[in-house]
Amino acid sequence: MGERLIGLGALLGALAIVGAASAQDVIKARQAEFKEFGKRMGAIKDTVIDKKGGTLADVAANAEYLAGKIPQIPSWFPEGSDKGETRALPEIWLNFADFEAKAKNAQGLAQALVVAAKSGDQGATAQAFGKLGQEGCGGCHQPYRRPQN
Amino acid sequence: MSRRFRDATLGLVLGLVLGSGAAAAASPEELARGELLFHIGGCTNCHTAKDGPLLAGGDPLVTPFGTFFAPNITPDPQTGIGGWSEADFLRAMRDGRSPRGEPYYPAFPYTSYAKMSEADLRALKAYLDTIPPVRRPNRPHELGFPYNIRWGLELWQWLFHDPAPFRPDPTKSEAWNRGAYLVLGPGHCAECHTPRTWYGALDQSRAFAGGRLGKEVIPNITRDPDKGIGRWTAGDLRGLLLIGIKPDGDFVGGDMAKVVRNGTAKLPDADREAIVEFLLSLPPR
């Protein structure tokens, strides 16, 4: 009996360690995804705002990538993944339905950017891009992310 | 009644009627200019509550000195500024004083607005007069000691408030001067981006070096390559002022998102470029 209890304790301890390690992995993995988002947004900006290279077709491709990935965002935030080196705030899990709604909204804005870029209208593309950044990305970055120090 | 006296009275009355008529009928150009100043001035960022009526009073502004509630500045005569004359408005914006002569707290950035030209201030007043009046009483500020002593403000203004208008630097380009005017005057960028001393004056030795304001972390926007934006190109800054994007593809949040959306995004290209030119000339701190 005593041995079994010790065994169970060891097993639970091991699970806890695995759990902690995987929380940090989850954080790392989503940070890599968001870094890629930033890169794509930067590339779109080069074309749309700075007008230094890239075509509207490239913009559409990057926006399509974002529209495809954004719906996954809520799955990158399992409960408890605010513990570790992350700027994710615990408010995410207090308002998870809102968090999901914000992701859905951002996805719609990314799709709108795809449509605008495919139409070939520079002005509409720039507008859709600004909206995606401010309301899409900003939609969560403002309430759910700790400010940078 | 002597004829001379009667003529003088008639002249005075006519003058008053014509004078007020001229003030009421602002030209479309003046209103457009006033609207632009309203945007760059960011009036709505403080004076409008979230989902509240435009300019009818704002959300709490939390500072280390206490919590301020920006008042109703719609043209409502009772609770807003509808009863104000142009002179009252100029006095508030330049001297930081109410029509009754009471000093305002510098949470209202008259320290920057004082740098605006008289023509711009008049245009802004003309535009504000066109906002729908809303009846909404003001909420008093909630301040801690010693900042709640109003006479302390008299002293503060006497020590720290310079009501002199912006003076262009003739050794710099026209665009630089336009940018400096917009940043230091109506844009009042320094009010957040320059840290304050414990007595609430801007610390000019650390101009635009950022810091902390309430819960927000305010970035350093000088040319310092590590702490500031010394590595940014003109294109990076343009993108930020236009849509709020940072060089890493992320977007500004918090109050700066409002500043971009309500202000810098709405400027004509030439004004935005002028701001870029001026900001890129700020010495690293």
pLDDT tens digits for range A79-101: 989 988 999 999 999 999 999 99
Residue B98 pLDDT > 60, yes or no?
Answer: yes
The encoded tokens of residue B262 equal: 């309500």
Sorting pLDDT into bands at 50, 70 and 90, what band is A55? very high
Question: DSSP per residue over B222-241, as a string?
Answer: SS-TTTSSTT--HHHHHHHH
Q: Do A147 and B215 touch (CB under 8 A)?
A: yes
Sorting pLDDT into bands at 50, 70 and 90, what band is B19? very low
Query: In this structure, are residues B62 and B214 in contact, taking their beta carbons and an 8 Å threshold?
Result: yes
Quote the pLDDT of residue A9: 58
Instruction: Report d(CA A60, CA A54) in Å as an integer.
Output: 11
Residue B17 pLDDT > 60, yes or no?
Answer: no
Instruction: Report d(CA A75, CA A91) in Å as an integer.
Output: 16
Residues 6+ apart with CB under 8 A from B133: B74, B75, B76, B77, B80, B82
Query: In this structure, are residues A87 and A145 in contact, taking their beta carbons and an 8 Å threshold?
Result: yes
pLDDT tens digits for range B46-70: 999 989 999 999 999 888 888 999 9
Residue B267 pLDDT > 60, yes or no?
Answer: yes
Residue B251 has its nearest CB partner, among A49, A126, A138, at A138
Judge whether A137 is closer than 8 Å to chain B, CB to CB. yes
Largest CA distance in chain B: 79
Instruction: Report d(CA A31, CA A76) in Å as an integer.
Output: 9
Sorting pLDDT into bands at 50, 70 and 90, what band is B40? very high
Instruction: Report d(CA B71, CA B57) in Å as an integer.
Output: 5
Mean pLDDT of B69-89: 96
Residue B196 pLDDT > 50, yes or no?
Answer: yes
Q: How far is A80 from chain B (nearest CA, A)?
A: 24
pLDDT tens digits for range B234-266: 999 999 999 999 998 888 887 888 899 889 999
Mean pLDDT of A45-65: 93
Quote the pLDDT of residue B159: 92
Q: How far is B269 from chain A (nearest CA, A)?
A: 12
Cα atoms in the 13 Å half-sphere on the side-chain side of B128 = 30
Sorting pLDDT into bands at 50, 70 and 90, what band is A7? low
SS3 B196: strand
Quote the pLDDT of residue B245: 92
B147 Rama class: left (phi>0) / alpha (psi -120 to 50) / beta: alpha
Residue A15 pLDDT > 60, yes or no?
Answer: no
In terms of Cα–Cα distance, which of B22, B47, B78, B45 is closest to B187?
B45
pLDDT tens digits for range B126-140: 999 999 999 999 999
Quote the pLDDT of residue B217: 85
pTM: 0.81
Chain A residues in contact with B254 by the CB 8 A cut-off are 142, 147
Residue A50 has its nearest CB partner, among B235, B244, B265, at B235
Mean pLDDT of A29-58: 93
Residues 6+ apart with CB under 8 A from A103: A70, A71, A73, A74, A140
Mean pLDDT of A138-144: 89
Mean pLDDT of B192-204: 90
In terms of Cα–Cα distance, which of B213, B220, B217, B201 is closest to B283?
B220
Quote the pLDDT of residue B15: 42
Chain centre to alpha carbon of residue B170 = 25
Residue A142 has its nearest CB partner, among B235, B243, B257, at B257
Residues 6+ apart with CB under 8 A from B143: B65, B66, B67, B68, B105
Give the residue with greater pLDDT, B201 vs B21.
B201
In terms of Cα–Cα distance, which of A73, A75, A70, A76 is closest to A106?
A70
Judge whether B255 is closer than 8 Å to chain A, CB to CB. no
Judge whether B211 is closer than 8 Å to chain A, CB to CB. no
Mean pLDDT of B97-124: 96
Quote the pLDDT of residue B21: 40
Give the residue with greater pLDDT, A5 vs B214.
B214
Chain B residues in contact with A37 by the CB 8 A cut-off are 249
Query: In this structure, are residues B45 and B259 in contact, taking their beta carbons and an 8 Å threshold?
Result: yes
Q: Do B243 and A126 touch (CB under 8 A)?
A: yes
Q: How far is A130 from chain B (nearest CA, A)?
A: 5
Residue B11 pLDDT > 50, yes or no?
Answer: no
Q: Do B235 and A39 touch (CB under 8 A)?
A: no
Residue A60 pLDDT > 90, yes or no?
Answer: yes
In terms of Cα–Cα distance, which of B111, B109, B106 is closest to B64?
B106
Sorting pLDDT into bands at 50, 70 and 90, what band is B151? confident
Mean pLDDT of A34-50: 93
